[in-house]
Every structure is written in C-alpha cells, then in structure tokens.
A and B are shown apart, each in its own frame.
Chain A
Amino acid sequence: MAVPLGRRALPGLALGLAGPAAAQGAGALLNVSYDPTREFYRAYNTAFAAHWREKSGQAVRLSTSHGGSGRQARAVIDGLAADVVTLALAYDIDAIAERGLIARDWQRRLPENSAPYTSTILFLVRRGNPKGIKDWGDLIRPGVGVVTPNPKTSGGARWNYLAAWAWAQRHAGGDQGAAQFLGRLLRNVPVLDAGARGATTSFAQRAQGDVLLAWENEAHLAFAEFGQGQFEIVVPSLSILAEPPVAVVDRNVDRRGTRAVAEAYLEHLYSAEAQALAAKHFYRPRDRAALAAAGATFPDLPLVTVDAEFGGWAEAQRTHFADGGSFDRLYQPGR
C-alpha cells in the first residue's frame, strides 16, 4: 500500500492517546486466541473486515491477543474483555463458561462442535532424520531428546500427551503400559516450555532435542520459516484429531453491544474463503472442497478423538492433567 507513513500514524496517535478503553466499543472486536494461530488470524482479520464492510457497511477494528491457551482463558476469566475466544481445546472454554461468561451449551451453537478447522500432532525432526524417528515408539529410545511444552499451561502439549497415550494403549499394553510409556517419554524431555511457540523456538532456534512434537500447522510454519532444508516432517502411524473450538463470550458482547459482529466473525470462519485461508495456514479445513484443494499438504492418517478415546475433555483433564493426575505422577524432573 502506498499510504504515506505520517498520514497513517496520525489517526493512530489520537486513538493511542484515548487509551485502550476508548479503542474498543461498537466498531471493535477483540479475539483472544492461543499461540500458533497468530498468522492465520492476522490474515483472517483482513478478510473478515472486508466481508463485514460489504455486508453491513460498517468498518470494524479487529484486535487479537495470543498466548498459551490455558493462560488466555484465565485472563478472560479475570476480566480481559474478549468478544470471542478461539482456543486450543474445549476444556479452556468450558472453564470460562463455568464462571458464567459463556452459555454452557456453547459447543452446540456452531457446526462441527464449534471447531471450524481441525489439526493434529506430527513430529518435526532434523534434516536426514539422524536418529531414525518414525513413530511414537522411537521417542522412548535412550538418547532421543523430545521437545514438547508443559501440559499444565499449553493446550498443544495436552494434545501431544493424549496422542502418545492413545498410541501406547494400542502398542504397549493398555492403560498400564501407556502410563509406563509416557513416563519413559517424559524422561527424554530436556525441558518443558510454557507454550507451543516457545517449544518450537527451543527446537528450531536453540537447537534443543532431536524431535519436536508439534501442531501440524506449527510444524509446517517452522519448516517454512527456517528453510526447508533444515527439518523434516514425520507422520506417525496414529495421531489425535485436535478440534480447536471457538465461542462468543456472551457476557462481554452483551455488555458492549457487539453480539452481531462477534457472531458473524465466528460464522464466517466456516465460509469457503476462510476455509481456504485456514488450509493455507496449515489448519485442516472442515470444508471438503478446501481440503481436496489442499491436496497432499494434509496426509491421511488414523486419528483418534478425545470423546471416543478419553470420554471427553472434562474426563481427560481430570484423569491426566489435574493436580495428582497421571502427568503429575509420571513427570519427575531431573531424573
């Protein structure tokens, strides 16, 4: 765009001086999201602003906030005035709903469990795959450094953990074998980062470990950012269907009068335009046409679901990640 810097900066200056409170309001929308969606929502915000102007004749100012999914949910509970939340897993939105900010039946309000795109967990290894990592079973070999974030704070890490558990249940002898497997896997983790993006930086930038357990989109992004020659993506024999859900924060939109634009923002995620954008940023689109257009980008592999495998997120959270859950029992730093 050939807009001179000075002219663009001046209205911004006025806004900045008026303070954050004045910047929100009817023509503004805040999307509180998790870590790896930055690039996707930056592109989507531009697309939606154009769509909304066409549809309603109004300009809308879209802001985003990113961080570990659990931490972002906590901020919304503590009063961060999100109009919509787009988080890594249903449990984090349930936590907000429990405080009465979102209607309890939020997951039924939009198609496909309120998850307009899906993702899965893959491996990213160094060029030539020097440690020969092909599947989950290779992760517990001695001398293999596994990089994964902390499931207490990171949504992605919880998907990683459950995917490993599901594989081990089939190949290492039921729940007991899976627990043993996870214990050995965690001993191969040098350090647990707080969020998915931090883990990617540790692996790619600081050269820690031999394999990164990553969101599919995060793996592709690292691939693109750091030069394709440096890494290889490994598709395991089994993974998990991650459904990052979205919801309107009822209490905030009703107070600020932004319900119409907030609902349109989420509904438009299911449009052909947004689905293609999601695929472009390596999220698996729900739309069959967009998925077909993406071709070989998204390999076909068996995916288990949290509902079928772990009895839903509330149950999985209680069994594995709550205080005293399986993670607390299996993770012993420094051993």
Chain B
Amino acid sequence: MRRPTEEPAWLRWLLCLLAVAVLGVFLVLPLAAVFAEAFRRGVAPALAALGDPDALAAIRLTLLVAAIAVPVNLVGGVAAAWAIAKFDFPGRRLLTTLIELPFSVSPVISGLVYVLVFGAQGWLGPWLEERGIQVVFALPGLVLATIFVTFPFVARTVIPLMQEQGRTEEEAAATLGAGGWRMAWHVTLPNIRWALLSGVLLCNARAMGEFGAVSVVSGHVRGETNTMPLHIEILYNEYQFVAAFAVAGLLALLALLTLAAKSLLERA
C-alpha cells in the first residue's frame, strides 16, 4: 500500500543526492582542500609550521582570548536570558533586540568602535595613556572585540528554551521558600544545562575563528597580538602556503571537535 504522503523513490533519491552534492561542494570539498594543502609536502613540514614560535604564540593567544571571552559571555548571556524569559520589565523588548545587535553589525565596525573609544585618538585614549593602559592593539582589545562579536550565542540558545519552560517551576520554588540563588542553581540552571552547553560550544567556536573585528584591534604584531586567523592570513601573504594551511587545518580541527562535542551532547 502506498501512503498518500510518500513520494516516489526516484524523487527521494534525487533530493538526497542534491543535498549531498551541495554539502559536498560547499562544505566538505573546501575543508578537504585545507587539509590536502597542509599535507601537500608531507606531515613533517606541516608539524614544523605548527611548532614555529610565532604560530605557537598565535595558538596560545587564541586559546587565551577564548578562555576569557567565553566565560564572560556565559555569565552575561545567562543573566540576560534569565531577565528576558522570567521577568516582565520595561525595556524587555529593547534588551532582546540589543542582544542580537552583534549579529547584524559588521565585525569590522565592531572592531572600529573599540578603536574609536579606546584608541589613542579616541574618547578614553588620553586618560588610558596617562595611566599606561593599553587596550586596543593588545590583549584587552582582542578580548573586548571577541566578547562583543560572540555575545548573542549563549543568550540566543537559552532564551527560547527558558520561555518555553515558563515560570511555573520557579514560582513553585519561590512558594517553597527558595531564594534567588537557590532557585537559579537548583531549578533554572539544571533545566537549561544542555542548551547552555551547546550555546557555550558555539560561542567558543566563533570566538576562536573571529577575524574581522579582531583584525581591526590587533595591530598585527608577530608573536604578540596575532590570533590564529590573523596568523593564517599573514602566512598566506608570505607565500608560506603549507604553513598557512597547517595552522588553518588546526583551527578547523578545533572547530570540528567543538561541533562534534555539541552533537554528542544533543544526542545524550
């Protein structure tokens, strides 16, 4: 018996093939090219490129920036989501829109904003300079730009779930005499933990890969303010294609691991 919703086999196959072909051409092929280029002259040159002091510095800096930016966004994102999903207050809609701002603003502008505020010619520039504090073209600038660009990830993944779950459990906890912290720790957070983790992982992948905003505030000092994406561009421009693709391969690998962890979590 053929059910009315069932499409003919050839159509199903065609659609599947089409999807696989599109994925293959736009995702798998470029990714494979990265690794193929990296190992074009064998494994040893690729590994040597990763052991280069400037490359090591770029890897460390990338991990350090992510290690600061992601926890900040975790706390900030959960706080914002909690406020939006569980409370009514004036400006709630505005806050929801503001959270999405980094998604709609070009990363180059996100970087320039920090140069305009913290740069030597910026609003706070002279004040910072007197105190010997370097923000742009140093670690703080890189962290600020990354936090800005990746802020929506945690909040955006958690808000829909929190809204769907509603406030009944929190209200029950409050009736039973739980304070705010206890309520958050024992009721709200356990309810959203999987969504939260997946948001954090996405946030981390983007934080490591961010190029535009970071490029503007970096200053491109070798071995000091170059993150992995910036280092890859530099190597490519220096005709060091194997080294460029070796670092690119590592960055892609970090992102793939992050995504694998995310899909494992979702299956659990």
Contacts and interface: CB of A to CB of B under 8 A. Distances in A.
Interface of A: 5, 8-9, 12-13, 16-17, 19-21, 23-24, 30, 35, 38-39, 63-67, 75, 77-81, 99, 197-198, 201, 225-226, 255
Interface of B: 51, 53, 56-57, 60-61, 64, 115, 118-122, 125, 129, 132, 134, 136-139, 219-225, 234, 236-239
Contacts of B239: 225-226
Contact of B137 (A23, A79, A255): A79
B143 to A, nearest CB: 10
A23 B138 CA distance: 11
A79 B137 CA distance: 7
A113 to B, nearest CB: 27
B139 A19 contact: yes
A9 B120 CA distance: 33
Given A21-B134, A63-B221, A66-B220, A79 B119 contact: yes
B155 to A, nearest CB: 28
Nearest to A195: B237
Interface of A (DSSP majority class): helix
A12 B56 contact: yes
Nearest to A66: B220
A79 B222 contact: no
Given A79-B119, A79-B125, A225-B239, A21 B138 contact: yes
Contacts of A38: 238
B56 A79 contact: no
B136 A79 contact: yes
A67 B220 contact: yes
Contact of B222 (A9, A12, A65, A255): A65
A79 B216 CA distance: 12
Given A77-B120, A198-B237, A201-B237, 5 more contacts: A21-B134, A35-B237, A63-B222, A66-B220, A79-B136
Nearest to A16: B60
B221 A30 contact: yes
A7 to B, nearest CB: 12
Contact of A81 (B56, B60, B115, B137): B137
A99 B64 CA distance: 34
Contacts of B60: 12-13, 16-17
Given A20-B139, A66-B220, A67-B220, A197 B61 contact: no
A5 B52 CA distance: 9
Given A16-B64, A20-B225, A79-B134, A65 B57 contact: no
Contacts of B64: 16-17
B53 A64 contact: no
Contacts of A225: 239
28 contacts: A9-B56, A12-B53, A12-B60, A13-B56, A16-B57, A16-B61, A20-B134, A20-B221, A20-B225, A21-B134, A21-B138, A24-B224, A30-B221, A63-B223, A64-B221, A65-B219, A65-B221, A67-B220, A75-B137, A75-B219, A77-B121, A78-B115, A78-B121, A81-B134, A99-B121, A197-B238, A201-B236, A255-B132
Contacts of A67: 220
A146 to B, nearest CB: 21
Nearest to B241: A205
Contacts of B225: 20
Contacts of B236: 201
A79 B129 contact: yes
Contacts of A24: 224
Contacts of A23: 224
B57, B139, B221, B225: which has the most chain A beta carbons within 10 Å?
Answer: B221
Nearest to B125: A79
A8 B138 CA distance: 23
Contacts of A8: 53
B221 A12 contact: no
B221 A79 contact: no
Contacts of B137: 20, 75, 78-81
A80 B219 contact: yes
Contacts of B219: 65, 75, 80
Contacts of A255: 132
Contacts of A79: 118-121, 125, 129, 134, 136-137
A12 B134 contact: no
B139 to A, nearest CB: 4
A64 B61 CA distance: 17
A197 B220 CA distance: 15
Given A30-B221, A78-B136, A81-B137, A197 B237 contact: yes
B267 to A, nearest CB: 36
Nearest to B57: A16
A134 to B, nearest CB: 28
Contacts of A99: 121
A95 B136 CA distance: 20
A24, A63, A255: which has the most chain B beta carbons within 10 Å?
Answer: A63
A17 B64 CA distance: 8
The 6 closest A-B pairs by CB, nearest first: A79-B120, A78-B119, A16-B60, A80-B219, A80-B137, A20-B224
A23 B132 CA distance: 14
A13 B238 CA distance: 25
A97 to B, nearest CB: 14
Contacts of A64: 221-222
A67 B234 CA distance: 9
Nearest to A8: B53
Nearest to B47: A5
Contacts of A17: 60, 64
